[in-house]
Amino acid sequence: MNKLRIILVLFLGIFLLMGCTKWQEPEFKAEDWVPPEGTKPGQFFTINSKNVIGKHINGTPPDSLTDYRDKYYRYIRAVVVSSDEGGNYYKSMVVQDSTGGVELELDMTGLYNFYPVGQKIVIVCNGLDKKGNGLVIGDYHNLPQMGWIYQKTQVGRVNSLFIDNYIIKDGLPSQKNLPKPLTNNEIDFSGDNDINKLVRLEGVTFRENAIGKPFAYNDFITEWKVNVPGTTELITIRTSNYAKFRNIIIEDKTYNLTGILTVYVSGSRRTYQLMIRTKDDIEIDNPKPNEFLEFNFTENPLEKGWSTQSVLGNTGWIYRLGSQSMLHLGNNQTTMDDWFISPVINYPDLTNGYLTFEHQLSVLNGKYDAYQIYYTTSTSTTFNINDWKPLGTLSSFPASFEWSNRFPLSSIKSNTFRIAFRYNASNPDIETYLWNIRNVAIRNK
């Protein structure tokens, strides 16, 4: 019995000793690329050279990077500077070396998972073989591109099954690998030397027609122009309707914008464009503290502090995951009074602050008074309709998602308040229709 106890104590001691061993996160390693034995210095190209971008003459068909009869492979060493994570790039990736940048056309989505920003790569330039397969260099309206040949005169996407034949990862990704972004006075706006390079436009302002509008609409690509200090060149901010940051509203403020400089040439007209990668590339210059609040409904807001209250009727507000929105369907000739209520909001600048929200309505009967916005300074969890006051009048009724008119907060006398969307159909003889809300924001003028 004593022996059994001794064995149990020893086992327990060993178990506790092992359990107290501190777990260490494994160290990930990736070997730096080593050129094959016998590789000569002349086998390395730079992007902005007569062998690559300089090899292609605008207006001619795409050119092979090397001759298939050449017994040597050629290589380009570069670093990934673009990202398709934000939805503004699609099946393409921009890489840059010390001399220039080029856009790789690749038939694959989610490239940022495999080639994140800061990943060094080696491009294998093995030229066209007798069947015409291999990398070519060309352009799209003067924007340098690299990929497979398409319809004899264009650069097309490399099939995803063959990407590894042309791109080799070189070590682990790191922000330290990135080139320093060119700023306003450093960018060459007289030619193509800085096209497909990482840039940062500092202190820019959007033109008046963009103020209060989103970076892009849901149905089409949007192009807004900005004034850039240090140059008279108007730069176009080109944003896809698939960009995840498209709903950010442009304000009458000064911005710092980071992204990839591109160009579009049509005839004698040359337009420089900035391709923003993710929302982190959009920075308001010297913002005031707490001047921006946003609630999006990518997750159910009823699990994030929002609530509903049904005073009349049995329809109510519901969350729709597919559209990531709160929806009230309305009803056929039924009295209803349903509230969708925010959590408590703390906002310091009521003088300049305003509420806006992205919404969609079906107003088939021409009656608009059922859609109302209220506020209260009461923080009580017990709903009392007498605590609530109108914040303003809704004057935008879009059939597809758009941002509402602004509701100034200056009438609110406390920096702590809540807002509510009230679906108030008080006349049972009038049929009412849906109201869909998916983003709510409080901003400063």
Which tokens hold the place of 39? Answer: 């590789």
Strand ranges (E), 220-322: 222-227, 235-239, 255-266, 269-275, 282-284, 292-296, 307-312, 318-320
Contacts of 381 by beta carbon, 8 Å cutoff, 6+ apart? none
What is the spatial distance between Cα 109 and Cα 124, in angstroms, rounded to a whole number? 21
H helices then E strands: how many in the chain?
Answer: 1, 31
The closest of 77, 48, 61, 50 to 191, measured between CA atoms, is: 48
DSSP label at 428? T
Residue 88 in contact with residue 277, Cβ under 8 Å?
Answer: yes
Which tokens hold the place of 272? Answer: 């420089």
What is the spatial distance between Cα 51 and Cα 62, in angstroms, rounded to a whole number? 13
What is the spatial distance between Cα 359 and Cα 440, in angstroms, rounded to a whole number? 9
DSSP label at 209? G
* Torsion sign, CA atoms 311, 315, 321, 325: negative
Contacts of 397 by beta carbon, 8 Å cutoff, 6+ apart? 361, 363, 368, 371
Mean pLDDT by 10 residues, the chain (445 residues): 64 58 55 89 89 70 69 89 96 96 96 95 83 84 91 91 94 93 92 94 94 92 94 93 92 93 92 95 76 86 92 86 88 84 92 92 84 93 93 91 92 94 88 89 86
DSSP label at 23? P
The whole-number pLDDT of residue 313 equals: 79
The whole-number pLDDT of residue 442 equals: 93
Name residue, tokens 């000739």: 333
Q: With helix as H, strand as E and coil as C, how does 163-176 read?
A: HHHCEEECCCCCHH
* Total length of the chain: 445
The whole-number pLDDT of residue 25 equals: 47
Which tokens hold the place of 197? Answer: 């390079």
The whole-number pLDDT of residue 430 equals: 81
Name residue, tokens 């923080």: 379
The whole-number pLDDT of residue 106 equals: 97
DSSP label at 124? E
> Residue 371 belongs to what H/E stretch?
strand 371-376
For residue 434, the one-letter residue type is L
The whole-number pLDDT of residue 23 equals: 44
Which tokens hold the place of 242? Answer: 């698939």
Question: How many CA atoms does the CB half-sphere of 26 hold within 13 Å?
Answer: 3
The CA angle 9-10-15, to the nearest 5 degrees, is: 95
Query: Would you tell me how many other CB atoms lie within 10 Å of the CB of residue 317?
Result: 23
